[in-house]
Structure 1
């Protein structure tokens, strides 16, 4: 199943590659998708600065503030944007790939979060990738309270995947 995921990774600044290496991000997102049993899909992950994510947050959520991650779910009902992409599996019939959407992470906020929560930046990166994938799969939370079912699932996945040092 691993070969059927298309994970596009981009960086707002070249220096962000060192903080969130492409190979590591690919591996982490693949392990999340595999653990959740997600079928062939495509998604993107972009790493940006606080200024860039603040502008996106203002434009798309009407919140003029920074945030750690934004998830933009691909709406399957928007006809103007749906063209099928095909994957061929072992000479079988082509399978349509589900486009999940886009995740945008601020590395600036990620680092502040890690310091605030007394965790390594690597752990916080893994946490945010899980968080974003869950949003792209349709999960949501009303608050940031740790008892929110989505946030409980996020932390359980983080432990299961070996990303938590707690």
Structure 2
């Protein structure tokens, strides 16, 4: 198994090209290697400010748009629903590779990353770098949140942002 990226976009964005999706897959691979995460699926959705504001309000009680939100599958609070995956014997066996069982065909979801494209475009302009770099930064930031990193303290922020910069540099997404 590998780390996989499933993505969707609720809007047309010229920066989201097949080559850019390949760059995001490279970022995921690099971040996974750095953190020892070798398997799992990350679901990425590109949205507008209105959609991310609604999610921010619903899940964080903040009625304003933000640049990125992450929803890790491994974090279960008292108010979250646990999903149990069971083999009911009705899996589509045609989708399995030779020698693979139903449970082997299942890719463990790491979580969801939601990125506001208009916010990323504005931030790229503010910081004086490309939109691709900003989207890549937000994606790596979201991934690190999925695997447990946070930036509530100054020390946590230094660690997380250093890891992000290292990954972006390795992928050639410089400022």
Structure 2-normalised TM-score?
0.77
Q: Does 1:28 align with 2:29?
A: no
Structure-to-structure mapping, 1:45-56, within 5 angstroms: 45-56=44-55
Does the CA-based 8 Å contact 2:43-2:113 persist in structure 1? yes
> How far apart are the structure 1 equivalents of 2:141 and 2:65?
17
Runs of 4+ in structure 1 off by over 3 angstroms are: 76-80, 84-93, 143-147
Q: d(CA) in 2 for partners of 1:62 and 1:7?
A: 28
Q: Give distance in 2, aligned partners of 1:143 and 1:73.
A: 20
Aligned residues: 160
How far off is 1:157 after superposition? 1.1
TM-score (norm 1): 0.81
Query: Does 2:136 align with 1:126?
Result: yes
Query: 1: CA distance between counterparts of 2:43 and 2:4?
Result: 8
Q: Residue 146 and residue 21 in structure 1: after superposition, are their counterparts in 2 closer, same or farther (change >3 A)?
A: farther
Cα contact 2:27–2:136 (8 A) shared by 1: no
Residues 54, 80 of structure 1: alpha-carbon distance in 2 compared, 3 angstrom cutoff: same
Alignment of 1:41-120 (within 5 A): 41-75=40-74, 80-83=82-85, 91=99, 94=104, 97-120=107-130
State the distance in 2 between where 1:28 and 1:82 align: 33
Secondary structure in 1 aligned to 2:150? coil
Shift of 1:160: 1.5
Structure 2 residue 1 is the aligned partner of structure 1 residue 6: no
Q: Which one has the largest radius of gyration?
A: 2
3-state SS, counterpart of residue 64 of structure 1: coil
Residue equivalent to 1:164: 174
The Cα of 1:95 is off from its aligned counterpart by 6.4
Q: Tell me the distance in 1 between the aligned counterparts of 2:3 and 2:162.
A: 25
Gaps of 5+ in 1: none
After superposition, the CA RMSD in angstroms is 2.9
